Amino acid sequence: MIPANMLKFYINGQWVDPISTSRMGVENPATEEIVCEVAMGSAEDADRAILAARAAFDGWTYTPVKDRIALMKRVLEVYNERYEDFAQAMSTEMGAPITWAREAQAWAGQVHMEATIKAAEEMVWEYNRGSTRIIYEGIGVCSLITPWNWPMNQIACKVAPALVAGCTMVLKPSEIAPLSGTLFAQVCHDAGVPPGVFNLVHGAGPEVGARMSTHPEVDMVSFTGSTRAGTQIAAVAAATAKRVAQEMGGKSPNIILPGANIAEAVAAGVTAVMSNTGQSCDAPTRMLVHRSQQAEALAVAKEAAEAIQIGDPRDEATVMGPLISKLQFDKVQRLIQAGIDEGATLVTGGTGRPAGLNRGWFTRPTVFGDVNNSMTISKEEIFGPVLAIQPYDSIEDAITQANDTIYGLAAYIAGPVEDAKPVARRLRAGTVNLNYPDWDTSAPFGGYKQSGNGREYADWGIHDFCEVKGIVGYGEA
């Protein structure tokens, strides 16, 4: 599904021609075919969108909260009307299997908007503390920079809280997965978002993203992507003291406790890594198992990985599609080879495409055993369907290995809950998942260490887009 207006930007309530004449082909990674072109903006295009957001700010931020929430409900309503279009768009731009695109990718945008609306309705926006009035109000103009791996998840996690908080914004989706972002701009237009409140500009990070991070009229940058890019944004944004929220890389541990059902826990861990073709920042890519149970864990992981159905994303039975691009394919191949070269045991998978798939950026679900924290595959974020299984000798050893990483986005523990709880408290990660729970869109999501700062989802996300004002001497409410 190719949306209209791929060669235009949405600025001040209108689809406008870019100032820049640059374009880029959008590839379907399952076929390597160019399905359309997208306009690539310049710093001047970003300026135009930012100034439109600034001009709209006062009118929007002083709109009553109930009216901002009502508009967000209308955006959700229009999104739901176009739900299948979003699924088709993300299947095309990402190569996501269509069932996954419907049940996970498009669904994520829907449920995050729902969670934000619920949180906004329940939030106390003003209250008295003695004679001081405490007020939560929108921080200002926000630059929203989103990734290609979960397009609508991240757009919803930024746009929805910014909108209800009273912010105005410029969105730059990933230029290699721009279809869903363009479609979302049309949803905002059809829902009646006032001119200038929401704006969209496509483009590359060094041109558009850099200007969105440094422009003096921008008050906040909310970024999701690589740690390298996120730290660069924080550095350049510091000159104007912008708030910077970052959700960046991860190398999440998954501790399988000795009391866990090994067959169930390992198989579920494999599924969690391989879903979305391993392209999730919080994927449990480091599985820690007791040394006495590693052989059993490797056998279970091999069977689970080899059972994954890979192929045409249009087939509703397909479970795993391609990686997003040749660049990502080459990176994953290099890191798989590094695992082999550094002495990890290759349990299944390896380099190259799966049998019978000679076109598209498909890669083999890969499992390594006998991994240790000195190996590249344990340290680097691979962002592909690669699981590293490493043994531990005691719970203390497992915790030490789990925390021995520059990242801290998520962690996983499988086993009896009462055994898992004290371990969870000692893991340095923003989210700790016990026994593969359902996705909780009201839980805070964000990282420790080089996984970033700030939190997304529900009221946590709203607070990130708010300033707190105290009016001292206000008197009784």
Q: Which long-range contacts (CB under 8 A, 24 or more apart) does 61-65 make?
A: 61/137, 61/138, 61/140, 61/166, 61/167, 61/168, 62/166, 63/166, 65/120, 65/125, 65/164, 65/166
Closest alpha carbon to 293 in 261, 253, 268 = 261
Assigned token pair, 221:
């940058």
Which 3 state secondary structure label does DSSP give 328?
helix
Closest alpha carbon to 373 in 402, 411, 347 = 402
Which residue in the list 27, 93, 207, 247 is annotated as catalytic? 247
Active site residue 36: no
Which residue in the list 114, 281, 456, 466 is annotated as catalytic? 281
Residue 393, Cα to own-chain centre: how many angstroms?
A: 34
Burial class (CB in 10 A: 0-12, 13-18, 19+), 263: middle
Separation CA 461–CA 221 (nearest Å): 13
Active site residue 281: yes
User: 10 Å Cβ neighbour count for 16?
Assistant: 18
Amino acid 476: pLDDT: 81
What DSSP element (H or E) covers 306?
A: helix 294-306
The structural domains of the chain, ordered by start, are: 9-248+451-471 (3.40.605.10), 253-441 (3.40.309.10)
Q: Above pLDDT 90, what percent of the chain? A: 99
Tens-place pLDDT, residues 288-330: 999 999 999 999 999 999 999 999 999 999 999 999 999 999 9
Burial class (CB in 10 A: 0-12, 13-18, 19+), 357: middle
- pLDDT tens digits for the chain (477 residues)? 799 999 999 999 999 999 999 999 999 999 999 999 999 999 999 999 999 999 999 999 999 999 999 999 999 999 999 999 999 999 999 999 999 999 999 999 999 999 999 999 999 999 999 999 999 999 999 999 999 999 999 999 999 999 999 999 999 999 999 999 999 999 999 999 999 999 999 999 999 999 999 999 999 999 999 999 999 999 999 999 999 999 999 999 999 999 999 999 999 999 999 999 999 999 999 999 999 999 999 999 999 999 999 999 999 999 999 999 999 999 999 999 999 999 999 999 999 999 999 999 999 999 999 999 999 999 999 999 999 999 999 999 999 999 999 999 999 999 999 999 999 999 999 999 999 999 999 999 999 999 999 999 999 999 999 999 999 999 986
User: 10 Å Cβ neighbour count for 351?
Assistant: 16
Phi/psi at 24 (nearest 5 deg)? -140, 140
Assigned token pair, 299:
């056998």
Burial class (CB in 10 A: 0-12, 13-18, 19+), 341: exposed
Tens-place pLDDT, residues 178-209: 999 999 999 999 999 999 999 999 999 999 99
Closest alpha carbon to 185 in 311, 86, 298 = 86
Q: Above pLDDT 70, what percent of the chain? A: 100
Phi/psi at 367 (nearest 5 deg)? -125, 130
Please give the single-letter amino acid code of residue 73: K
Tens-place pLDDT, residues 344-402: 999 999 999 999 999 999 999 999 999 999 999 999 999 999 999 999 999 999 999 99
22, 123, 168, 216, 299 from 183: Cα distances, Å: 21, 30, 19, 29, 44
Residues 93, 151 contacting (CB under 8 angstroms): yes
The four Cα atoms 154, 160, 166, 170 give a dihedral, to 10 degrees, of 40
Amino acid 477: pLDDT: 67
The CA-based angle 186-189-190, given to 5 degrees, is: 85
Separation CA 406–CA 250 (nearest Å): 8
113, 206, 222, 320, 402 from 214: Cα distances, Å: 28, 11, 13, 39, 36
Amino acid 388: pLDDT: 98
Residues 388, 275 contacting (CB under 8 angstroms): no
Separation CA 1–CA 178 (nearest Å): 12
Which 3 state secondary structure label does DSSP give 411?
strand
Residues 426, 411 contacting (CB under 8 angstroms): no
Closest alpha carbon to 374 in 398, 348, 339, 411 = 339
What DSSP element (H or E) covers 53?
A: helix 43-61
